[in-house]
Structure 1
Amino acid sequence: MNVQTEANVNKPKGLGGWLIWPTIIVVLSPLSLLVSVIGIFQDYTEAIEGLAPFMEQSLSFTLYYYGNILLEIGLLVFSLFLLVFYFQKKKRAPHLFVGLILFYITLNMIDLFAWTSFNNLFGDTSQFVKQSGLSLLHTCITAMIWIPYFRLSKRVKNTFVNE
């Protein structure tokens, strides 16, 4: 006899409710990163020609530029793993989602500090600093909402149950 109790029937689970919003992020993140990585490689030759004088003057800018490319590719791979684990409802998916947000915070912090230090190389970088600061603020707000949700939500605990 397979009788479900009322408590089991009313448990929130599945990719519904507030979990819809992170699902959208999980789906769009790899697509956005793929477009970004493709753009990097399509414009690579032109970008290198334009940035060559700056790269000759600054090892830190060269490291920043190539490091950014590697991190974008790493983020793409990470977000693809998250996408697979998320829709397989693996127990690791919430941890990977939190990791993705923390990864973005770290990258935004690196961007902010890098553009602040490149002021002497490029002249006025205040627009880049402002953009990086706003991205960091946006990501921190995202983290303040979704990290506690993924840590405390009953829906998350009931949805991501597969080993």
Structure 2
Amino acid sequence: MSTTSEVRIGGWLLGPLAWLLVALLSTTLALLLYTQALMAPQTFATVAALGTLQAVMWYATLAFAIGMWYYTLWLTIAFFKRRRNVPKHYIIWLLISVLLAIKGFAFSPVNDELALRQLLFPLLAAALIVPYFKRSTRVKNTFVNP
């Protein structure tokens, strides 16, 4: 009979978990804002008046926000269940976050200081968390469930 016990989520893994939970809250709030905008009667007329390219970009942004929310929710559930594929998907999720921040930095008509701040946090998180997920024995011992 084996007496080995599974390693619980703890230590430095609480940081990536907190980042994931904050991102889930953030994307949920963003989707609520999109839903509120979609409920307004003048939204579709305003989007149609923007032109075809701008309307397509608005709907594509909405689709990406929904997709990112589902992926973040799935990853959060898998993180708590300590699934084996969490480290790989967490790294993919971080890279998608960096790409979306770069898209916002390059194409959004916002102040450069705000865009740079929005880009800094995903880059910093990816720079710190990816090597930890790749090399840590705690990560390898925690995420063992199929």
For the aligned pair, the TM-score class normalised by the smaller chain equals 0.7 to 0.9
Q: How many residue pairs are counted as aligned between the two chains? A: 144
Distance 2:82 2:35 in 1: 33
| 1:113 aligned partner, one-letter code | A
Indicate the RMSD between aligned Cα atoms, in angstroms.
Answer: 2.3
The aligned residue for residue 26 of structure 2 is 32
In the TM superposition, what is the alpha-carbon distance from 1:130 to its structure 2 partner?
3.1
Pair 1:141–1:30, CA change in 2 (3 A): same
Which 5+ residue runs of structure 2 have no aligned equivalent? none
Distance 2:105 2:44 in 1: 22
The 5 A counterparts of 1:87-106 are 87-106=80-99
Which stretch shows the higher mean deviation, 76-85 or 129-138? Answer: 129-138
Structure index of larger Rg: 1
The 5 A counterparts of 1:10-159 are 13-44=7-38, 45=40, 53=49, 55-56=50-51, 59=53, 61-115=54-108, 125=109, 127=111, 129-159=112-142
Pair 1:83–1:112, CA change in 2 (3 A): same
Distance 1:67 1:47 in 2: 15
Partners of 1:105 and 1:140 within 8 A in 2: yes
Residue by residue over 1:123-161, the C-alpha shift from the partner in whole angstroms, topping out at 9 and shown as x without a partner, is: xx451x432222112211110000111111111000001
Partners of 1:14 and 1:155 within 8 A in 2: no
Scaled by the length of structure 1, what TM-score is found?
0.77
Residue by residue over 1:95-139, the C-alpha shift from the partner in whole angstroms, topping out at 9 and shown as x without a partner, is: 111111111111111112212xxxxxxxxx451x43222211221
Which 5+ residue runs of structure 1 have no aligned equivalent? 116-124
